[in-house]
Structure 1
Amino acid sequence: MTRQEQETAVKAAVSLGEAFRRGRNDERLGRAMDEAARQNPWFTEESLQSAISEWGRLLNEEEINRWVSAYALPREKKDVALVLAGNIPLVGLHDILSVYLSGHRALIKPSSSDTALINYAAEHLMTANPAMAANIEITAVPAKGVDAVIATGSDNTARYFEQYFKDIPALIRRSRASVAVVSEETTDEDLSLLAGDIMKYFGMGCRSISLVFLPAGFDIRRLIRALEPYHGYISHHKYVNNYDYQRAMYSMTGGHGVYDTGFLILAPGDTLRPPLGALSYEYYDNPERPARFVMENASGIQCVAWEGFPGGVRFGMCQSPGLTDYADGEDTMAFLSSLA
């Protein structure tokens, strides 16, 4: 890939960002959103709008050029298989753009949970830049005979991917969760931002906060009040089934310190991946406790909402990653640049 070819690819990505910023005013995107909602009941209008808005924010010429200019162009084009996740809308788009903008050929296996939007994005890039349309292909099964693979899945599927693609360069991602640390200085406004980090996309993203550390003596009712705007989730039939099940389970165990908000269970403990419909929390006396937990569990943590902590972000930012906030902390563009 030459720099000139990369510039045309960047323009295609910018065009996709412009479509995202138009939202439902873009007729083709609106149809894809409708189809995505029919395919996956978790993809509510709120979730779709949120994901599309985030991508519209990111895909501008300045941001994209700042991102790609930091990497050397590969010496030759490689076929890269992409096995995408589908837990939140467009979660696999970053991998597609990484391969496309690095000049390789992307053979994309979308998740069955997110085909409409991924197909829309792929087709938009091909239409916007016909000269590189052959660099994008949608496949029904994970491709073999490729030069490299980027695959995302659960811990169990990751082991399968490692075996399936054992003979080629592979970037395999596993399940991750995110953590927040509240301090004595945390305001109610901060807690409202944290509530979004917890509840956005029904808490199904790897960047969704699933464990909150609270300072000793903290009034947990403040957090419960901050979560209240998401009470409407109880009307979502799939979410309420999960919540009702968790409420029944915790009711039978009669656990001390369990709070039922009416739409989310707050359960004491440091479980990093509580079930859907539940949030883990733990009180700490010394900030060394959450710091030690984060360091000891770094391989399973995606985002740390703790301003001032190395690599931490402010409340409200976990669900708004930048182009260089790579999944699992693995630099996708560096991996692609290294392919010889």
Structure 2
Amino acid sequence: MNLQQRLEILHQLRQYISEQPIEWQNACRQAEQLNNWFTQRFIQTAAEAVANNFLNNDLLRDWADHYHLDDNVTPKTVGIVMAGNIPLVGFHDFLCAFVSGHKQVCKLSSKDDVLLKHLVTKMTEWNPAVAERVQFNSMLKDCDAYIATGSDNSARYFDYYFGRYPSIIRKNRTSVGILTGSETENELSLLADDVMQYFGLGCRNITKLYVPNGYDFVPLLNALRKYSWMFDHHKYRNNYDYQLAIYLMNNIYYMTNDCVVLIENEQVFSPIGTLHYSYYEQQADVINSLKGNEQVQAIVGNDLIPFGQAQQPGLMDYADGVDVMAFLLGL
């Protein structure tokens, strides 16, 4: 497949996702049956983001032109270990390898091993040459390079097995928000998406807020209520109840709107059902303290990533700030 054919089949994939044929709907239901965190609502949210932000034909061509892509790449085999915290979380790595012209062998997480397989199966039906470019395997051996995403613990194993090869190894990350207290009702509603989408399981989900001294939390708590339906999800409810019980038993001050608990805590990572916050005096001091923090994926706020855009990365928004396409083209 040449570059033109690869871009054309990705455009066809965008149409397939957007039209939501019965085959795709069945795959989405199967994904939810295997992983209850993957609700139909959040699968569709993730799929729409992929279709609009990654598979738009004009955006893809601009992306390819940025790297001066052509058909002179000597194909290497790239092993990709994908996470499974939110639906289609590994799609961008798949896309980079596919568009660059390399072959890839993907090891999917058991939590998310339906959706991408289904999409690649459809692509193979449209053009059998895709099968030569994309394979799935539970073991990654004899690859020329590796991209692996996982926890801090798994990263040590990835480094042991893949460290002697060209590799990108990712650890745990999360995102934070910086508020001024002057946010509009609409901005707080968009912030609620950044916090609550995917039950807060994504590395681009906000798990920590920085607020000015004297901040009024009532408008924020009201905005977060747009996700009160999550309280009916048994896994989320169990986590919420467990964390709330701990705070009660330890006499820890908390605020809640009956769908998320707010706790003052310096840690940027917060448990499911909980949102951490800290007070600040100068916003510039917060931004400076976050520079170089390897735990932080994205920072949302005024003059930063806009509210509501944390879970809407574009083609050039690479995880951990590592340019995957440049890495692949440099093999």
Both proteins in one fold, TM over 0.5: yes
TM-score band by shorter chain is over 0.9
Provide the residue aligned with 1:336 in structure 2: 328
Provide the residue aligned with 2:219 in structure 1: 222
**Pairing partner for 2:101 from 100, 103, 109:** 103
Provide the residue aligned with 1:120 in structure 2: 118
**Pairing partner for 2:13 from 6, 9, 16:** 16
Consecutive unaligned residues in structure 2, runs of 5 or more: none
Q: How does 1:44-83 map to 2 (within 5 A)?
A: 44-58=39-53, 59-73=55-69, 75-83=73-81
1:153 aligns with 2:150: yes
Provide the residue aligned with 1:138 in structure 2: 136
Shift of 1:270: 2.2
Counterparts of 1:48 and 1:75, CA distance in 2:
34
Q: What amino acid is aligned across from residue 333 of structure 1 in structure 2? A: M
Shift of 1:72: 4.3
Is the contact made by 1:9 and 1:129 (CA closer than 8 Å) also made in structure 2? no
Please list the CA deviations of residues 138-168 of structure 1 after superposition, one character each: whole Å capped at 9, or x if unmatched: 1122x11110011100011011100011221
Q: How does 1:244-263 map to 2 (within 5 A)?
A: 244-256=241-253, 258-263=254-259
Counterparts of 1:96 and 1:10, CA distance in 2:
13
SS state at 1:283 partner: strand
Shift of 1:57: 1.0
Is the contact made by 2:181 and 2:216 (CA closer than 8 Å) also made in structure 1? no
Is the contact made by 1:127 and 1:133 (CA closer than 8 Å) also made in structure 2? no
Provide the residue aligned with 1:314 in structure 2: 306
SS state at 1:304 partner: strand
Provide the residue aligned with 1:175 in structure 2: 172
Counterparts of 1:126 and 1:161, CA distance in 2:
30
Shift of 1:260: 2.4
Q: What amino acid is aligned across from residue 57 of structure 1 in structure 2? A: N
Percent identity over the alignment is 38
1:281 aligns with 2:273: no
SS state at 1:69 partner: helix
TM-score (ref. length: structure 1): 0.93
Counterparts of 1:164 and 1:326, CA distance in 2:
23
Counterparts of 2:127 and 2:317, CA distance in 1:
26
1:234 aligns with 2:226: no
Is the contact made by 2:84 and 2:110 (CA closer than 8 Å) also made in structure 1? yes
Provide the residue aligned with 1:40 in structure 2: 35
SS state at 1:130 partner: coil
Provide the residue aligned with 1:28 in structure 2: 23
TM-score (ref. length: structure 2): 0.96
Shift of 1:129: 2.7
SS state at 2:192 partner: helix
Please list the CA deviations of residues 241-287 of structure 1 after superposition, one character each: whole Å capped at 9, or x if unmatched: 1111100111111123x112212110002211111111001121211
Shift of 1:296: 4.9
Provide the residue aligned with 1:189 in structure 2: 186
Shift of 1:289: 3.0
Is the contact made by 2:187 and 2:307 (CA closer than 8 Å) also made in structure 1? yes
Counterparts of 1:124 and 1:293, CA distance in 2:
46
**Pairing partner for 2:296 from 298, 301, 321:** 301
**Pairing partner for 1:268 from 245, 264, 270:** 264
Counterparts of 1:194 and 1:75, CA distance in 2:
42
Q: What amino acid is aligned across from residue 83 of structure 2 in structure 1? A: A
Provide the residue aligned with 2:3 in structure 1: 6
Q: What amino acid is aligned across from residue 34 of structure 1 in structure 2? A: R
User: Which shifted more, 330-339 or 178-187?
Assistant: 178-187
**Closer, same or farther in 2 for the Cα pair 1:172/1:296, shift >3 Å?**
closer
Counterparts of 2:124 and 2:318, CA distance in 1:
24
Q: What amino acid is aligned across from residue 264 of structure 1 in structure 2? A: V
Is the contact made by 2:230 and 2:236 (CA closer than 8 Å) also made in structure 1? yes
Shift of 1:124: 2.3
Consecutive unaligned residues in structure 1, runs of 5 or more: none
Counterparts of 1:126 and 1:168, CA distance in 2:
29
Counterparts of 2:32 and 2:197, CA distance in 1:
16
Counterparts of 1:287 and 1:167, CA distance in 2:
42
Provide the residue aligned with 1:290 in structure 2: 286
User: Which shifted more, 238-247 or 179-188?
Assistant: 179-188
Shift of 1:27: 2.0
